[in-house]
Amino acid sequence: MTERVVLAYSGGLDTSVAIGWIGEATGAEVVAMAVDVGQGGEDLNVIRKRALDCGAVEAYVADAREEFADEYCMPALQANGLYLDKYPLVSAISRPLIVKHLARAARKFGATTVAHGCTGKGNDQVRFEVATTSLAPDLKTIAPVRDLALTREKAIEYAEKHDLPIATTKSNPFSIDQNVWGRAVETGFLEDIWNEPTKDVYSYTDDPTFPPVADEVIITFEQGIPVAIDGVAVTPLQAIQEMNRRAGAHGVGRIDIVEDRLVGIKSREIYEAPGAMALIAAHQELENVTVEREQMRFKRQVEQRWTELVYDGMWFSPLKKSLDAFILDTQKYVSGDIRMVLHGGRATVTGRRSDSSLYDFGLATYDEGDTFDQSHAKGFIEIYGLAAKQAAARDAKFGNAEDLG
């Protein structure tokens, strides 16, 4: 029986060419697998037909939009996952899901090898291959662009020579990856980090310089998950889609960042994530109201480590699973409403309410109705500062006191 390779297929130039390229280089039959994670664009049935026309013996299409929103975007939201405090893990959280379907397809079609279209310079190669090793360690992995020297120039030449039904885009300067959580754009003139992005870089967001009338939105959460927008019940996928539309209309979620790749290269990336950034801002503010202080302080440390693990391709790692459990526990009381105003590139929180709020008006107010006993403060400060006071006295004894000039 002829060996089979299941290729993670996007429908673009590189993976279309990779179908024939893999066959010629390995003698294996290629099964193309496309996963819908809300990337929009072409119909996946059109992509499926293209894969068959490019030489795939089978083409498998999975609608994973709900699964992606529920099981990948929502954990990222509950973790406030922002790499370098800016990037909401747009591509990073889609890769483990794609690999899960890749492994399933390998089992279904009797393949011993899976393939992806990543280069040897990026993070995605690590995400694909570590996830594959974690889920199906018996499967081998190949990367045509990296392992079989499939450069973009060779891909264009191959597509034209074999008359493949795919546009050869020498004029398209960008490499783009997108899903419902956001859109990532790199390469081309953006590689000069002094160059300003041009208007054609953006697709998910409108120019915030000339925004429409401000849009007020109320997002309702239950245990850290958005369940309604302006009182209308929504699924996680619908919440993301609605906020993509409304926040995107105001240019919310444009990110221009030089980030540290796992492989050690600094890379300039442009991201658009209007829904993700608006939802994260709302979720963070609701946590400020409902999560206890020390728990929240520690969660911020957990969030950073969780985000680094996911960015670095360790979605299925034991540590990440343990951090998942902690984060999920912190969401027990993260329920309530957040009111936001979307305008001019900003998502600004203007109101909060929650039945599980830790905010006590009587303790917080400085006006009539104050229930805080201020007489307790003096003793608290004496005890709180005791260790520092003793250390300062020792410094003075040994001539090391702070110079007050």
Domains by residue range for the chain, with CATH = 4-172 (3.40.50.620), 176-291+333-353 (3.90.1260.10), 361-394 (1.20.5.470)
Tens-place pLDDT, residues 148-173: 777 778 888 888 888 888 765 555 66
DSSP letters, 118-151, are --SSSSHHHHHHHHHHHH-TT-EEE-HHHHS---
d(CA 112, CA 106): 7
pLDDT given at position 172: 62
What pLDDT is attached to residue 188? Answer: 84
185, two tokens: 């754009």
Q: What is the mean pLDDT of residues 21-26?
A: 89
User: pLDDT tens-digit profile of 73-122?
Assistant: 999 999 999 999 999 999 999 999 999 999 999 999 999 999 998 888 88
Residue 271: strand pairing partners = 184, 255
> 141: closest CA among 154, 124, 123, 125?
125
Residues with a catalytic annotation lie at 14, 95, 124, 175
pTM above 0.75, yes or no: yes
Sign of the CA dihedral running 137, 22, 30, 43: positive
CA 78 distance to own-chain centroid:
12
Mean pLDDT for the chain overall: 93
Per-residue pLDDT at 168? 57
pLDDT confidence of residue 279: 98
Confidence class for position 193, pLDDT limits 50, 70, 90: very high
What is the pLDDT confidence band of residue 403, given thresholds at 50, 70 and 90?
confident
Nearest to 51 by CA among 101, 15, 2, 80: 15
Would you mind telling me the total number of residues written for the chain in this entry? 405
Residue 30 contacts residue 5 (beta carbons within 8 Å): yes
